[in-house]
Amino acid sequence: MEINKQILKNAAEYILLGLIIYLMRDLFNLVLFTFLFSYIIYNLQKFIVNKTHIHKAIITIFLYFIIIGLIGFFIYKYIPEIIKETQIIFKEISKITLPDRWAIYVNSLTEQIDIAKSYDKFMNTILSIGKNVVQGSLNVFISLMLSMFFVLDKEKIVRFVHKFKTSKISCVYNHFEYFGTNFLNSFGKVIQAQFLIALVNSLLSVIFLWIMNFPQLMGLGFMIFILSFIPVAGTVVSLIPLSLIAFNIGGLIKVVSVIIMIALIHCLESYILNPKLMSDKTSLPIFFIFIILIVGKHFMGVWGLLLGIPLFIFILDILNVKISDISKKSI
């Protein structure tokens, strides 16, 4: 009877946790970006402090100053360039003249299209994209600020959270403390692997872009490195400015070359680097890494590629399955 009560209690706690996560689904991107920035900056801060012995607050503020400065430089340097390249492309498209037989076919198609309805759909799409860009930019800015406050006050935050050990919900806190710590450690290992993947992506991209005579390689390399932390979507976003610059310096042939380059690097990331590095960091077999990435992408979108593995390890912890024991066994 006591065992049944414990099972029901644990089930209620997990249902409550799931409900809280579901209610916070609109803040999902904000939470993930905050943790991502916090983890990277905290580890950079710790590494630099150990090497230089400079006060950690100074190092932290300096790191955020560099990040915000680089983002500001990218916006100042590349956004006007992207707008300019887009205008050039539209001008070039407007100059295209079709042969008579093609023009007749195109005219017959346009007559069958409801221009007003198509225009409304196009404008709604543009507004939706603009809204997502603004919301995403706002999330990144808020996440940077939150992560800075977290890194600066980490010790105070940890002391405050530990007060729940002796509170009226101590039983719930103690139950989830172990699983939460393991989940964060697993997520940290995934971020470490993603950092290496982003580094390799940016280096390979810069080499290919240098071969194709692209300008401003350092800025483009930094952009690709940052966007590589966003699985799949980051690749698509990086393709837009690269394609615009490619069209300006070499026309459609150069654009096709960039698309091929991105496709090759994406395949290298998805089918070799990601499974191998995730397997090494988490001690899970590569086969399971592939399955987790596929299922995570299916149910949680692009963020499932980052969260799928920590969630799987979280479930293994609940089931009391030791990953270290799995990794030591051989077939």
Residue 159 burial (10 A CB sphere; 0-12, 13-18, 19+): exposed
Using one digit for the tens of pLDDT, what is the confidence trace for 260-285?
888 888 788 777 777 777 777 777 78
Over the chain, what is the mean pLDDT?
76
Distance CA 89, CA 92 (A): 5
Is the model more confident about 148 or about 324?
Answer: 148
Using one digit for the tens of pLDDT, what is the confidence trace for 100-137?
556 565 566 556 555 556 556 666 766 776 677 677 77
Nearest CA to 326 out of 316, 318, 307 is that of: 316
Whether residue 328 is predicted with pLDDT greater than 50 in this model: the reply is no
pTM of the model: 0.69
What is the mean predicted confidence (pLDDT) over 295-304? 75
Within 8 A by CB and 6+ apart from 327, the residues are 283, 284
Nearest CA to 250 out of 292, 209, 216, 218 is that of: 209
What is the mean predicted confidence (pLDDT) over 197-202? 86
> What is the per-residue pLDDT for 233?
64
Using one digit for the tens of pLDDT, what is the confidence trace for 39-94?
888 888 888 888 888 888 888 888 888 888 877 877 777 677 666 766 666 666 55
Element (H, E) at 193: helix 170-211
Nearest CA to 158 out of 48, 322, 42, 304 is that of: 42
Q: Are 280 and 273 in contact (CB under 8 A)?
A: no
Q: Are 61 and 145 in contact (CB under 8 A)?
A: no
The domain segmentation of the chain, as residue ranges, is 1-152, 170-331
